[in-house]
Every structure is written in structure tokens, then in C-alpha cells.
Amino acid sequence: MPVHHLEETFQQTVDAEIKIEAKDWMPEAYRKTNLRQISQHAHSEVVGMLPEGNWITRAPSLKRKAILIAKVQDEAGHGLYLYSAAETLGMSRDQMIADLHSGKAKYSSIFNYPTLTWADMGAIGWLVDGAAILNQVMLCRTSYGPYARAMVRICKEESFHQRQGFEALLVLSKGTQEQRAMCQDAINRWWWPSLMMFGPRDSESTNSDQSMKWKIKRKTNDELRQNFVDMIAQQVKLLGMTLPDPDLKWNEARGHYDFGEINWDEFWNVVKGNGPCNRQRLQARINAHEEGAWVREAAVAYAQKQSAKQKKVA
């Protein structure tokens, strides 16, 4: 069948809301876009363990420590679901990890910010996971089957992440003067980077957007960002805290909150590797990989030995 026929059939399948599966024919650009997006999403989950891992030993109580360990373990799991989904598109796990370590593949810039106080654990759960959930809920309906299934699994687990974060802040917000100040400070530092998570403005794009046409994405960056602002602007009131944006205001005519301009120079600077923790995060991943090499090798040697033993018996 000529390629343009295949492409037509492919688009009809997508338009009919039928999922594309790993072995189905797909345009090369669809495969590459999905591969890049899913692998970067996987990297984000894995690197995302680092800022929170920083606080596991310093959590203020056994309860908070158990919660934080469970959350970080979930993130490792989410990374694994996503790597598996990406592998169905024909790239090996090792290659993906090599691309992360070389800097070729990106991960979400939010994880290049430091976690300075315990309140950051709350702010990350509430704001960072809150922003991620909006994106992930949309991705549950993405057109590539393995990605969509991974996202359904992730979304089921993610809700606890946001709730525990908000609850941790709620406790601080009812605490001492210092605890309240710590809570507000964390919100101040995480608010703008959270808004940046949705990516550049829609106006920086062409009209015909291939990702939307292929239903890889179903909402634009600005739509998702607006949903997020509307949600958080309400929730922050329950904490008795404020968001660090003097332009944040309910707009009756639009039915949405207006908000101030994001510092895009900062956004691109962090993407390009110059955020507060870029080098530290990547180095931590590389170290973990290199220092774990002997474990992987030992496991292979053990498996081979066991298998040889079994053959002998048989």
C-alpha cells in the first residue's frame, strides 16, 4: 500500500478514537514524537525522585517519612511504566538512559529547583504534582495505546501525591509563626516554576499542530495552565496563604483568573541546563547508574550460573 494511503488510514483510525498499538503501522514522525515525549516523561519521573529523596531522612515524623518513601517509590514505578511504554516504539532502555545522561534527552525543568525546607515537600505535592496531574489526566486519552495505559495506571496513584502535599501544607498553615512563614515561602518559590511546567505559550506555535491532530495531546499548554491557575487560586485560600502574583485576579467576563507574565528567560535558561540544580541532578543519576553497574553484572552472572546448574540436573 502506498505511504499516503497508510497515512490516511492511520489518521482515520485516530479520528475514530481507536488507539494505535505498538505493532500497527504509524508515520515515522508519530513514532518519534511519542518516543521523545514518553521517554522524557519517564526521565522526569526518575529525576523527580531526587528533590524529594533529599527529605526522606529529615521528615519530621515517622508518618511523614513513610508517606514520602511511598511517594518516591511510586515515582520510580511511574518511570518504569513509561520506559516500558517507550520501549514498544523500538528504542532500548539502555539507549534512553544514555540519552538522559548525555543531556540529549530532557526531563521536566521543575526538578532542577532545590528543596530547601520541609514545606517544599508539601508545595511539590500540591503544586508540582497538581500541575502534572492535569497533564496526565489528559494523556489518559492519548492516541498511543501503551502510553495511555501507563497514564491510567499513573493517574490512579498520583492523586494521593497531591493530597498528601496539600495536607502537609495545611498542617503547617495552622502551626506556629515560623511554620506559617515556611509554608508561604515554599509556595512563593514553587508557584512560578509550576506554571512553567506547562511549557511555552500557544502563540509561539503554528496553527496546524501535528500533536493535536494525532491526538497525542488534546489540550494546549495555555488551556492546561489556565485550568491549573483557576484550581490553585481557589485552594490557596483554604491554606490562608497567598500566591506571589500581584496580577492574579478573577476575571468575571472570562470566567477565569487572570495572572501575570511568566519569566520566560528563566524558563529557557533552566531548560538549557543553567538552573540551580541541573548539574547536580544529572550527576546524581549518572553516579547511581555507574555505581550500580556491578549489581547488574552480578545479577546476570548469577542468572547464568543458575541456568547452567539447572541444565546439568536435567
Partner 1 sequence: MQCSIRKFYYGDIPEEQGGGAAPSESMNEHGWPLWEVFIRSKQGLDHKHAGSLHAADARMAIENARDVYTRRQEGISIWVVESKNIHASDPGDAESLFEPAADKIYRHPTFYDLPDEVKHM
- H/E stretch holding 251 reads strand 249-251
Restricting to residues 252-281, which ones interact with partner 1 according to CB under 8 A? 268, 271-274
| Subset of 284-313 contacting partner 1 (CB under 8 A) | 296-297, 299-300, 302-303, 306-307
Cα 45 from chain centroid (whole Å): 5
Residue whose CB is less far from partner 1, 115 or 136? 136
**Closest approach of Cβ 176 to partner 1, in Å?**
35
- Which is nearest to 236 in space by CA: 129, 68, 123? 123
By CB under 8 A, residue 13 contacts partner 1: no
Of 250 and 302, CB closest to partner 1: 302
**Given the complex with partner 1, which of 103 and 240 has the nearer CB atom?**
103
Q: Which of 10, 30, 55, 81: binder of partner 1 (CB under 8 A)?
A: 81
Contact between 174 and partner 1 by CB under 8 A: the answer reads no
Neighbour tally for 117: CB within 10 Å: 17
Question: Shortest approach of partner 1 to residue 173 CB, angstroms?
Answer: 28
Q: Does 211 bind partner 1 (CB under 8 A)?
A: yes
Q: Which of 268, 262, 278, 272 is nearest to 51 (CA)?
A: 278
| Residues 218-257 within binding reach of partner 1 (CB under 8 A) | 221, 224
Check residue 77 for interaction with partner 1 (CB under 8 A): yes
Q: Is 283 in the site for partner 1 (CB under 8 A)?
A: no
| C-alpha cell of residue 295 | 549489581
Q: What amino acid is encoded at 24 in this protein?
A: D
Q: Output the smallest distance, CB 122 to partner 1, in A.
A: 22
Q: What is the DSSP letter of 56?
A: G
Size of the site for partner 1 (CB under 8 A): 67
**How many Å from the N-terminal Cα to the C-terminal Cα in the chain?**
50
DSSP 220: -
Q: How far is CA 26 from CA 10, 32, 75, 173, 219, in A?
A: 7, 10, 30, 51, 22
The Cα–Cα gap between 194 and 202 comes to: 17
Which residues lie across from 251 on neighbouring strands? 256
Q: 3-state class of 236 per DSSP?
A: helix
Among the listed ranges 71-79, 111-119, 121-129, 244-252, the one in contact with partner 1 (CB under 8 A) is: 71-79
CA-to-CA distance for 166 and 122, rounded, in angstroms? 6
Q: Cβ of residue 36: shortest distance to partner 1, in angstroms?
A: 6
Please report, as ranges, the residues that interact with partner 1 according to CB under 8 A: 21, 23-25, 33, 36-37, 40-41, 44, 70, 73-74, 77, 80-81, 84, 87, 92-95, 97-99, 101-109, 131-132, 135, 149-150, 153, 157, 197-200, 202, 204-206, 209, 211, 217, 221, 224, 268, 271-274, 296-297, 299-300, 302-303, 306-307
